[in-house]
Chain A
Amino acid sequence: DVKVTQSSRYLVKRTGEKVFLECVQDMDHENMFWYRQDPGLGLRLIYFSYDVKMKEKGDIPEGYSVSREKKERFSLILESASTNQTSMYLCATIGQGRNEQFFGPGTRLTVL
C-alpha cells in the first residue's frame, strides 16, 4: 500500500512566522501535490511537482513556496504566515501515467 505521511496533524503558528509542512511518500511516485481544504471551497491546488527540483504553480500559489530536493519528499513553505492561511493542508502523490491520487492524512494549521 502507498503510504503518504505528513509531519504534523495539528500545528499552531503566529502571524509572520515561517512555516514548513513536510510530506513523504514511500512509493517512488514522480508526481506530488499540495492542496488546501476549506469548507465550501473543496480542495484547491497550491503547487505540484513532476520531478525532483521541478515545481509548478497550482491555482492558489500566492503566499506559498515549495521544495523538492528528494523524490520522496515535498515540502510546502509559508514564508510569512498570515491568518488567512489557517486551513487544512493535504499532500497527495500519483505515479506517472496512473490515475489515483493518494492523500496524506492532512495537517490542520492555525495561524494566530
Chain B
Amino acid sequence: GENVEQHPSTLSVQEGDSAVIKCTYSDSASNYFPWYKQELGKGPQLIIDIRSNVGEKKDQRIAVTLNKTAKHFSLHITETQPEDSAVYFCAASPGAYNTDKLIFGTGTRLQVFP
C-alpha cells in the first residue's frame, strides 16, 4: 500500500526566512496531495493541495511543488511569521480513483522565532 515519508521532523527558522518541508510517496497511482496545518489544541486544517496533473500551486506565501517522476512533493512557506508555527502534515491519496482516504506523513513541527 501507499507509504508517505516526511522530512524534517522539526524545523526552526527566523521570522522572515523561508521554510521547506519535503515528502515522498510510494504509490505511483496516487494523484492528490494535500497539506494540513495543525495548530496547538486544534485538529489539522487543509492549507493547500495539488493534483498530479499540475507541477506547482501557489497561494499567497505558501506553495506546493510536485515531481511525479521522483514521487516527491514539497511545501514552501516564504516570509515566515510566528503564526506559521504549527505541525504540518503532508498526505497522499492511495490510488488514482479514491481521494477520500488519505495516507499521512509523520508531521513536521515548524517553529518560527521572532
Chain A neighbourhood of B114, CB < 8 A: none
Number of contacting residues on A, CB 8 A? 24
- Chain B interface bracket (under 10, 10 to 19, 20 to 34, 35 or more): 20 to 34
Nearest CB of chain A from residue B49's CB, rounded to whole Å: 6
Among residues of A, the one whose C-beta sits closest to the C-beta of B41 is A105
One of B34, B43, B101, B103 near A100 (C-beta < 8 A):
B34
Chain A neighbourhood of B44, CB < 8 A: 43, 90, 101, 103
Bound form: Cα–Cα A96–B99 in Å: 10
Chain A neighbourhood of B100, CB < 8 A: 31, 50, 94, 96
Is B32 engaged at the interface, CB distance under 8 Å to the other chain?
A: yes
Chain B neighbourhood of A33, CB < 8 A: 101
Is A76 engaged at the interface, CB distance under 8 Å to the other chain?
A: no
Contact A40 B43 (CB under 8 A): no
Contact B101 A105 (CB under 8 A): no
Contact A40 B46 (CB under 8 A): no
Is B106 engaged at the interface, CB distance under 8 Å to the other chain?
A: yes
Nearest CB of chain A from residue B67's CB, rounded to whole Å: 21
One of B32, B101, B105 near A48 (C-beta < 8 A):
B101
Bound form: Cα–Cα A103–B106 in Å: 17
CB neighbors of A among B30-53 (8 A): 32, 34, 36, 41-46, 49
14 pairs of residues in contact across A and B, judged by CB atoms under 8 Å: A40-B106, A42-B104, A43-B104, A43-B107, A45-B101, A48-B101, A59-B1, A94-B100, A96-B100, A99-B32, A100-B46, A101-B46, A103-B44, A105-B42
A contact residues vs B (CB 8 Å cutoff): 4, 31, 33, 35, 40-45, 48, 50, 59, 90, 92, 94, 96, 99-101, 103-106
